[in-house]
Every structure is written in C-alpha cells, then in structure tokens.
Chains A and B, each alone.
Chain A
Amino acid sequence: MQRNQYVGVGLKSAALLFCFLGAHFPAHAQSRPQNASAGNAQKGKDAFATHMCATCHGPEGQGAVGPALAPPPRALPDFTRYVRQPAGKMPPFTPQAVSDTDLADIYAFLQSANPAPPSNLSSLTGNAQNGGRIYVADGCYQCHGRVGQGSQSTAAPRIGPPALTIDAFARYIHAPTGNMPPYTNKVVSDQDVADIYAFLKSLPPAPAAKDIPLLNQ
C-alpha cells in the first residue's frame, strides 16, 4: 500500500531532475554530430579549461562528475541551447559568461578530441508508424508522454522531436547515465530505435504558447 511516489526515489530529491533520456549527454556517446562546427578546436580546448567545463566533464571531455561530451551528442544549435538553459543539474551559462564563438570553439574541440566510430544506425530507414506503435508498446510514453512532451513528475525530458543525434539517442537508450532504465538491443533493436526516432521526428511541431489564450493568463 505504501508506494514510492516517483520512479526510483522520491522527487523531493531535486537531484532526480537529471540524466533521463536526452536530459543529459550520454556518458559514452561516440557518435558524430550531424553538423560540422566552424569553431577553432585549439581555442576551444583553452576555452573548455578557462570556463571550467573540464571540472565536471574531464579535461578531454571524457566525462567525470558530469557526462562525457566528446564527441558531442547534439548538433551545435542544440548544444548551445542546452548550455544556455540546461535541463539537468548543470548550471546555466549566459552569453556573457561564454560567448557563442567560445561555444563553437569548444564544440570543435570536443569533435576533435574523440572522433566517433562509424555507426550503421544512420543508414537505417525508420518507419514512423511502426515507431509510434513501439513507442507505446515499449512504454516510452509512460515517462515521456504520448507525443514525447516529457514530464516533470517523471523527470523525463521532452523528446518529441529528439534533440539528440540518432546515434546518441540509441546509446542513451541502451546505456543511460541517469535513472532511465536500460533498454538493451534484445528489447529494442537498432531498427526499433530507428523507427521510434522516425516517429518522434514525424510529430508535428507544437503550437506556440503565445497563440494559446489559456496559456497567457
């Protein structure tokens, strides 16, 4: 009869708002982001140290207290957005604290620090309809909501559409660094991941809050 109110531990532990799918960079992400950075890797290495990123993420972005960032699991725009407004326990860095140029340089450094091995996931064609079915059958919606909207109750971030690259997405599913339960290849195959990813990509964009009167009162 007595129940844990939240997955794993009580949400009264603020620390739970951390490390669910997509909330954080995976610890062993080894995929190449889909965009290339125009930044300067050497300057980025210096900036990475100067701004004390290395304190949590290790001097080569290999991960320490915080997750590994090399190679970066997100495209540069998402990477920048996350640094400005982190969803987990990372403190936010304003443009005054770390400029966009610095972030592009850091991104280039992280790309060069640990090049990603080749992956066959990006070669798979995802079936969005089947992905929607698997998304429900495998219980993704239990924490992330039916359209991947995420939930503060479950500490699951929004994943529709996914911010991660498909490789980072797959690696997090298989070996999450936070509280999300691991879905191994036996349970969710590469094709399943590709289908789920396609489903999440296929979701229509959310309406803007400013266009919804009920959200402006």
Chain B
Amino acid sequence: MVRKSKKGSPKASIDRRAFLKSAAVGAAALAANPTTSRAQQIEARNAPPPPLPAEAEIGTPAKLDVLTETRSGSDFMVDVIKSLGIEYVCSNPGSSFRGLHESVINYGGNKNPEFITCCHEESSAAMAHGYAKIEGKPLAILAHGTVGLQHASMAIYNAWCDRVPIYIIVGNILDATKRIGAVEWSHSVQDAAVMVRDYVKWDDTPASLPHFAESAVRAYKIAMTPPTLPVLLVADAELQENPIPDNLAVHIPKLGQFTPPEGDSAAIAEAARMLVNAQNPVLLADRLGRTPAGMKNLVDLAEALQAPVISRPGRMNFPSRHPLNQTDRANALIREADVILGLEMSDFWGNVNSFRDQMRRTSETLIKPGTKLISINSDDLYTKSNYQDFDRFPEVDLAIAADGETTLPALTEAVKRLLTDDKRRAGEARGAQLAKVHQQTLARDREAAAVAWDASPISTARLCAELWNQIKDRDWSLVSTTPFISNWPQRLWNMDKHYHYIGTQGGYGIGYGAPSAVGAALANRKYGRLSVNIQCDGDLMYAPGVLWTAAHHQIPLLSVMHNNRGYHQEVMQVQIMADRRNRGIDRATIGTTITTPNIEYAKLAQSMGMYGEGPITDPKDLGPALKRALEVVNRGEPAVVDVLTQPR
C-alpha cells in the first residue's frame, strides 16, 4: 500500500505496516467502542486480523500497490555487519528484527554472519561472552528491544563485569503510528537501551541508514578498545524493512586500525624502578590475558624479574606449570612482598586484605607497612556509578591507566634496562628457590587430589584427573570456570595456551556456564580444538535449551556434569545463617538443593538430540564414559556425561 501524506497524496516510499494496519482496523474499532465489554476487547486483541474485503484480494487496485522490494535497509545493515568481520549472530527469533533476520539468512547468504538459533536471549548473550574470550572479538546478538533484551540483561551484565565485548542489536518500532496491535505496542519502547545502559559501554538509536552505519562502526571500535565491553545498537524496524531510498547515499565508514591504550612512559619507568629495586616483588594478574599476547608478555616480565606470579581466575594469565607460578601460595607471598604489581585486577583490595564473614564483619590488611602497590588497569579509563562491580578502592601507590597486556612489553624492556649484574644474580637465586617451591606445591596438590580418590560421589579432583587423562594429548580448550571445582585444572593440568582456560563469569550471575561454553566451543570449532566444559548442574537448568543449539549447529563440545544436586553455594549460605542463629542446619537444604526428583542430565541431553551418558557414580566408570563421549565429540557433535560429584 502506498503511504499517504497528510493531504492524502501518494508517497513514493512503501509503508510495510499500512497493509496490516488496515486489516486490523476491525479489531481496533471493537476496542474503541465504549460499550464493548472487557472480555470482548481482550478477545478482539487476541483474535487474528479479520479477512480483507474480497475486492481487496482479487480486485484490481485503484492505484498500483507496490508489494515487494529488491533492496531493503536491513540488507545494508548486513553489509555493515559483514564489514566488521562478525562471524555469527546468536538470536532467538523476534518480529521486531524480522527484516534483519531475513537479510542475514538470504541477502547475506547466512555466512559471516551465520544465524545461530538460540532458545533464550540469555543464551545468546552468554554465547557471545564465551565466544569473545576465545576469539578476541565480538559476535552479534539480535533480540527484541523489550522482551528479548530483558531476557538477555543478566548475561550482558556478566559480560560487562568481565570486560568482554558483546555486540548487541535490538529491534524496536519507534514510530507509534507504525505499530500494529498489542504485540507490537508491547514490544516497542521509547528508549530501548535504558534498561541496560548502566552496563553497556555505549549505545545508540540510529535514525537513518547512514546513521546506523556510522554508529555500527563506532560501536565496534568502542567495544574493542580496552576496557572491552558490551555495546548496543537499536535497529528500528522501519529502517530495517523499508527499501533503501534511491536518492540516499549509503556508505560504510572505514573502521581503520586502532590500538589499545598503553601506559605513560614515565610511569612505566617508575614502575620498573620499583620492581627492580624490590626484594620481594610479586606479580598479580586477573583479567590480564585478553589475547594470546597477555600470557607471553607476563612470562617475559616474570622471567626478567624472576618474580613469583599469582594468577587469579579471571583469565588464562600464566602457564600452570611455569616454575614462577606461585598461585597456591598467594597469601604468604603477599605478606612477604615489598612491591606488588596488580595487572587488570578486578579486586585489588580484596587480594591484599582479608575479610571475615561473621556477625561482625571485619577486615585486615595482609601487606606489611611500606609495601608499595602498582596497578596497570584499563578499568581506570572507564567507570560507571550505579552497579558496584568496581570493588573496593585500593590504596595504590602508582596507578597506570592502560591496557595491561599492551603495556607489559614496555615495562619488561624498562626492567631489563635497569637490571644490574647484582640484581640479576639476586633474581636468579630467587627464581631457583621459587622453582623448588613450585615443585613442592605440585606434589602437595597431587597428594591432596589423592585423598578422596575412590570416593562416591566422585571427588572433583578425580573428575579433573580423569578428564585430563583423556585430553592431555589433544589440542584442547577448557571452556568453563574452575572456582567451583577447587581450581583442580590449574593445579593438576599443564595449561600453557591462551585458550586453555576462559576465566570466570564476571558478574557471578548463574546461568552463564552452559551457554558461554557453547559460544567458546563455537569459536574453537574452526581451529579443530577439542572444547571441554565442566558443567555445574544448577547453572545448566537456567536455560538448558542451549544444548539443543549445540546439537542443531553441530558444535563439538564435551560437557562433563559437576552434578552435586544443588545450588551448593546457597546451601552453604543458608547454613551460615542457620548456624549464626543457632537453629541447626538440617533444613538448609530447603530451597537450595535439586533433588526429589533428581534430574537425569543424560536424558536431558538425549532429548535435545545429543549423546548423553550417566549418571556416573563409581569413579572407576568415569574414564571409560569420558572416552565414549569423546568419540562422539570427535565426530563434530556435542556430548554430555553426567557425573554425580562431591560438592566442591
């Protein structure tokens, strides 16, 4: 139908909604009639549009009614997305971005980006989170600007807290006169991004296609400049669905090269002086390993200084079996240190202080008087107010606002320039002692792993040792977190590649594990890497549909259930309260456990079309079960092995 101007004159452009709007006029009239009952109104709202008059369908229109188009706004949007090198769009389908959806799969050939069907927008966002940690760049998610973004919001918050780029595009119908019926009104919003504005780095609502192109490229650049963070664009449905006007010049701006922020040279020189002159320097790293360069650069610095490294679980920062890896001795080292360098620390204060969670919450410093703290952190470049993920203020002596891994080479060179022969000899002696301690720690960890070796439920140490035995000779990638399993992989496995570990959730929002693992496995697929996921049971049940996504898109992934049949963290939290109130803990399982009935995760996996086995209760059965599942994964499919485990 031809869009009418106010005076009723024909307008050259196509109005995609006018056709349906006229069809719905009957229902609208019903709703407007004051004598119509509420029930009738509801019925009318839910009813399908009444049929068009016969002449509208078979008759000859009075004027030519253009019903098709050859090149729409969303085609151009896909061109823009392709120009950014985005490989996938993860999405649960929705009408507010139907134009973009169709352009991706048809105009764009469903390749770069490929549409990945998700069963929940939280899965879409968390998949993007996991993908970016492996690939170092964002994939896109598509969602309704209202109900879809609401679903996705927690996963976006996790990515925000984890400093991970996600490229979010949401559909909306801003022009109220173009909305049809209750669904589109309910799915429209004045300001779609406001809901997540506290935890995206930048957002925009483009009003034209040139505006979309410019903002899309700008958003990518902002997302990828440390601190890397989620960004959001609103793709208005009218812009998506209407043809590109013939007289409109559309242009995709050049992204160009852009470099991450490096620390000030004078500050780097000062940091090097402090580190070289220290008797007991300590290197603390958390979200440092943004790319493969992060680990290499930290190894270079640690070896130049012969300083111990404490690698926090935010990223894969340092090889697990490097002799300078002293993570298990963190507290003792921090107490002895005279200079501590914190690299992309999410909570520097928490690493140099202890906190006691009793009736009276108390804290005390771990460092000795005079200990100097140096920080290199891109968080110092960008902070927001409302959500408190910036943690407690650390009293740092020298704060360098810059990207950690980018700044390290200059720092290492500065350190090397300052090293005298005496300093070098002292460092070598320190390094030799640390190497000895590292071996002792490894031996102690292995003894600790042996303690519940034959226990049932199966210990998390046994689970990790059995898994390591199956994967150690492969090119593997652990695509799940480790703090819930006592960090056994870091303690028992030889981890020395960037993709050997993807870090934690960021915001500790549960439901991240399964979809982020699938997203990371999606990134690993093209490299032929074996992705393994130690999957918490409670986490999986937030949105288990992501298993179907893995099966449907043939994403090879071995998921081994850490099935302790509970929200175990919360069991302990309620236990703490019950003990504090002296009421006994026999009811602490109410509301915190996942039993009666027990969930059959193997059957759940099978129902999604993938291989499932278990529950495995006897540790002797675990190795063979893992081997069988890996045979399936080797064929390019996902598999689940359910293992009944000890709590932690």
Contacts and interface: CB of A to CB of B under 8 A. Distances in A.
A125 B550 CA distance: 56
A152 to B, nearest CB: 4
A91 B336 CA distance: 7
B351 A13 contact: yes
Main secondary structure of the interface of A (DSSP, over half): loop
A23 B399 CA distance: 34
B568 interface: yes
Most buried by B among A92, A187, A214, A217: A214
Contacts of B20: none
Interface string A105-145: 00000000000000000000000000000000111011101
A13 B572 contact: no
B358 interface: yes
Contact of A207 (B336, B453, B487, B492): B453
B69 interface: no
Interface string A194-208: 000000000000111
Interface string A63-92: 001000000000000000000011011111
Given A13-B347, A14-B330, A209 B446 contact: yes
B553 interface: no
Query: Contact size class for B?
Result: 35 or more
A206 B350 contact: no
B568 A142 contact: yes
Contact of B584 (A5, A16, A187): A187
Interface string B497-535: 000000011011111000000000000000000000000
Interface in B141-168: 154
Contact of A13 (B313, B355, B452, B491): B355
Contacts of B466: 214
B449 A209 contact: yes
A142 B354 contact: no
Contact of A153 (B355, B465, B484, B575): B484
Contacts of B568: 142
Contacts of A91: 332, 335-336
B346 A7 contact: no
A17 to B, nearest CB: 6
B347 A15 contact: no
Contact of B647 (A6, A9, A151): A151
18 contacts: A3-B510, A6-B569, A7-B569, A13-B347, A14-B350, A15-B331, A15-B363, A18-B354, A91-B335, A137-B586, A142-B568, A145-B648, A147-B451, A147-B452, A149-B646, A151-B647, A181-B576, A187-B583
Interface of A: 1-19, 65, 85-86, 88-92, 137-139, 141-143, 145-154, 158, 160, 178-179, 181-184, 186-187, 206-209, 212, 214-217
Q: Shortest 5 CB-CB distances between A and B: which pairs?
A: A15-B354, A8-B357, A181-B579, A13-B350, A89-B331
Given A3-B569, A85-B444, A207-B454, 8 more contacts: A8-B357, A16-B355, A18-B354, A149-B455, A154-B572, A184-B582, A215-B450, A216-B446
